Structure 1
């Protein structure tokens, strides 16, 4: 794919990680990116305008080389709205048909799509899920697990399933499972488009998944259909969600397979257990490498880049520090940091994925790497789930060999350090404490106070981090006003622009 590739991006929503980050990764390779107009994309749980999306895609496709499209946005108004809206299957399938129309009009167009298997949320969130999930989340999670256990193990689990079903109002259960069945049918239709050749590649990912549950049940049904169609060479089904646009961009913009040497923070890191995924760290790494068009290298010498993965000692934990399962003798962080330094000093391409804790960098590791030349990293990622982090770090690593705009690369890299480390690992907790334990689901009137506090905390820290690691790079930083993407602390927005310092001279 030429460096001047023209990309159309229809993301799952408008958060920086799902909209701005993929665009940054594309731009640093010399590609151009167009995104749908304002109003077409969702705003939190408010659906986007699917008719406007369809018209935009038909209008723009003739001038594009690559389309990266979230099926939920195209067909149901967004990843979160897809879990909430009542649009019938026939309507969703009618919206999906635009991809066949676009491919017919532009036969050479690469269409890389992804869908997100409906999650069973860990928290009783009434905004990202159906409104009744705030009241019935615990019971719906119990039903999800019991249903899958019964599906796998038979009559021995029948009693538990009946108990779980009886604990729920029938209309709530029917609505919730009906939404899942509609979205699964949409993904089955996408598999047909893949089989027909309309789609170049398809990722069907599991968001916030567990070993047992309705998401695992859906996964097995989709895998069975993939077996029937024989489409596995162009299909990936694995735990992930928000990071998939980055992975598909790496696959499309750098089509040749990259060989990757994976180095874990502990010798047993590949076996570490994760909170929001259904498999150990090593298997998750393999899945994300394949999605981005990468393979494991047999030796460090033959690797195109090193993926350095900070894993928990035995299992992730939510609160830092955790000395029971994360910061244990099963790994030795100083030695891990030594290997990072050696690799960077040797000029190797290194992308760092920190999955020891979900939802932010490990504070101890962040402190230890401050002595390293962080501006030399190909990538850094430590946000949300392990899958989000890995997919992002792998995309950085694979695309590093194709960077044509060093300022754009520095901007993407620094933005991840600001969000994943400075905010998610540190400042977010400080703002939460300042607000005296606000609702995690909706800040309400406290949002203004939170954003004021956010700017006071983050702005000097952002500038200090730049001065420490990027000031001698010949680049200049502009810092905008920090704010929140949605009325909750989970996602901050930190407007940054990096450009050549000579441009301001």
Structure 2
């Protein structure tokens, strides 16, 4: 049995419990740090406690999957907010060398998240001043990158964007980015030296132009110098990366995936939070998990079914302008999944037509499928989040040792991505008094009460329709919210045999 250590970006179910479920279903023993070592929302975890835990656990572990921001800055969100110096950050990073010295056989799969330029003016996940200056900072970000790429013609736009910002705000914001980029450059050195087995540097909520794209190019140039591309991936993603790296750690062999899209032009579909079309994003996520595109269905180890928008993602559904268009045909897509399942193929579904939840029309059509026979399913947050989970399911599901463990991981995604994100979340919001998307404040209690009332019977009904008769029992805890906002729900559940 492999003992796997997991240091996640934070403690939300998709970033902690979901990758742990994927690992446990293969029979691996998963160890995670104590709660005080991990972040809660924008409060950093205790990096000293984390260091001690890691050095103690590393001696008997086979693999470590680690978020560099949690290890050195207290979490993925705190990494965008705290003022810790670069010297302190790099001292904390050195614990990875110490862990390898204690256990030379330890395989370290690390990932860092290139600092995003948030699309929303969120003062909690970003610096507090982002609530006021977010739009101006986004304008500067785009102008800076355009100037870096296209030269003097873009200088007047860049200068106008610069003078529109308070100098101290701009200096602090850019300084945080530079510190985190230096962290990632040092991680590339650790990869080159052999301390790291695999490294992912991912772009969270990225766009074709911006400071994240500028950082990406600098990191890629350093990777060219070091010659580490055989063990490095740089691509759009963030919260789902633990799933991809767990797939690498627990099934190191490269496996083949046959990809089908909901439309014949699906590979060219545009995405809101990524800098490339769907087909290129699929290829990047397959590689990060140690998978390649198969040349034919017969050669594939699993089928990755991808529900893409007709032309481009849209934020709200239904959208008949760019998503639900004649460029795809959902009934035929569902028919193909039914045929693949009937033929005994391993099928995992990534629904990326809309961000932040399942496409409601597709979910309705899917009720005619034997959903419990799917190897995997995902439809959460960004297209990258969804693809990383779905690909990891496809690679790891054949290793599942007990039906209950696989059913638990799969059903948890049905509950969160479809029942909550696509349906119940908006219904809960509609019962509240104009809630802030960033902080529910005193309305959190009412939100959680509404959530339990709405979703609990739907969870039981979904289980009865698709998992009854499989000698499995669902144990459901009390649904609640991960943070004081509606974005992430928590649905404690366990599946037992018998």
Same fold per superposition (TM over 0.5): yes
CA apart distance, 1:316: 0.1
Rounded Cα–Cα distance in structure 1 between residues aligned with 2:493 and 2:67? 26
Q: Give the one of 13, 34, 44 matched to 1:16.
A: 13
Aligned partners of 1:305 and 1:351 also within 8 Å: yes
Task: Tell me what 1:450 maps to.
Answer: 447
Task: Tell me what 1:344 maps to.
Answer: 341
1:170-212 Cα distance to aligned partner (Å, 9 max, x none): 0000000000000000000000000000000000000000000
Task: Tell me what 2:80 maps to.
Answer: 83
Rounded Cα–Cα distance in structure 2 between residues aligned with 1:97 and 1:399? 31
Task: Tell me what 2:317 maps to.
Answer: 320
Task: Tell me what 2:391 maps to.
Answer: 394
SS of structure 2 residue aligned to 1:203: strand
Task: Tell me what 2:70 maps to.
Answer: 73
CA apart distance, 1:437: 2.7
1:460-496 Cα distance to aligned partner (Å, 9 max, x none): 0000000000012110001110000000000000000
Rounded Cα–Cα distance in structure 2 between residues aligned with 1:64 and 1:104? 13
Rounded Cα–Cα distance in structure 1 between residues aligned with 2:217 and 2:11? 30
Task: Tell me what 1:427 maps to.
Answer: 424
1:15-40 Cα distance to aligned partner (Å, 9 max, x none): 00000011100110000000001200
Q: Give the one of 161, 164, 171 matched to 1:167.
A: 164
Rounded Cα–Cα distance in structure 1 between residues aligned with 2:306 and 2:434? 32
SS of structure 2 residue aligned to 1:314: coil
Task: Tell me what 1:410 maps to.
Answer: 407
Please give the TM-score of this superposition, normalised by the length of structure 1. Answer: 0.98
Aligned partners of 1:116 and 1:205 also within 8 Å: yes
Question: Does 1:116 find its partner at 2:113?
Answer: yes
SS of structure 2 residue aligned to 1:471: coil
Question: Does 1:303 find its partner at 2:300?
Answer: yes
1:382-416 Cα distance to aligned partner (Å, 9 max, x none): 00000000000000000011111210110000000
Question: Does 1:289 find its partner at 2:286?
Answer: yes
Aligned residue pairs, count? 498
Aligned partners of 1:382 and 1:420 also within 8 Å: yes
Q: Give the one of 201, 220, 225 matched to 1:228.
A: 225
Q: Give the one of 145, 150, 166 matched to 2:147.
A: 150
Rounded Cα–Cα distance in structure 2 between residues aligned with 1:438 and 1:186? 37
Rounded Cα–Cα distance in structure 2 between residues aligned with 1:208 and 1:288? 15
Rounded Cα–Cα distance in structure 2 between residues aligned with 1:472 and 1:214? 53
Aligned partners of 1:483 and 1:493 also within 8 Å: yes
Question: Does 1:41 find its partner at 2:49?
Answer: no
Rounded Cα–Cα distance in structure 2 between residues aligned with 1:418 and 1:300? 30
Task: Tell me what 1:102 maps to.
Answer: 99
SS of structure 2 residue aligned to 1:39: helix
1:110-155 Cα distance to aligned partner (Å, 9 max, x none): 0000000000000000000000000000000000000000000000
Rounded Cα–Cα distance in structure 2 between residues aligned with 1:472 and 1:387? 34
Rounded Cα–Cα distance in structure 1 between residues aligned with 2:157 and 2:294? 45
SS of structure 2 residue aligned to 1:423: helix
1:272-309 Cα distance to aligned partner (Å, 9 max, x none): 00000000000000000000000000000110000000
RMSD value over aligned CA atoms?
0.4
CA apart distance, 1:436: 3.2
Aligned partners of 1:27 and 1:405 also within 8 Å: no
Rounded Cα–Cα distance in structure 2 between residues aligned with 1:194 and 1:472? 48
Question: Does 1:488 find its partner at 2:490?
Answer: no
Q: Give the one of 265, 270, 275 matched to 1:268.
A: 265
1:50-88 Cα distance to aligned partner (Å, 9 max, x none): 000000000000110000000000000000000000000
Q: Give the one of 18, 26, 31 matched to 2:28.
A: 31
Rounded Cα–Cα distance in structure 2 between residues aligned with 1:106 and 1:367? 50
Task: Tell me what 1:465 maps to.
Answer: 462
Q: Give the one of 332, 342, 348 matched to 2:329.
A: 332
Rounded Cα–Cα distance in structure 1 between residues aligned with 2:138 and 2:454? 37
Rounded Cα–Cα distance in structure 2 between residues aligned with 1:297 and 1:400? 18
CA apart distance, 1:329: 0.2
SS of structure 1 residue aligned to 2:5: strand
SS of structure 1 residue aligned to 2:353: coil
Q: Give the one of 349, 366, 380 matched to 1:383.
A: 380
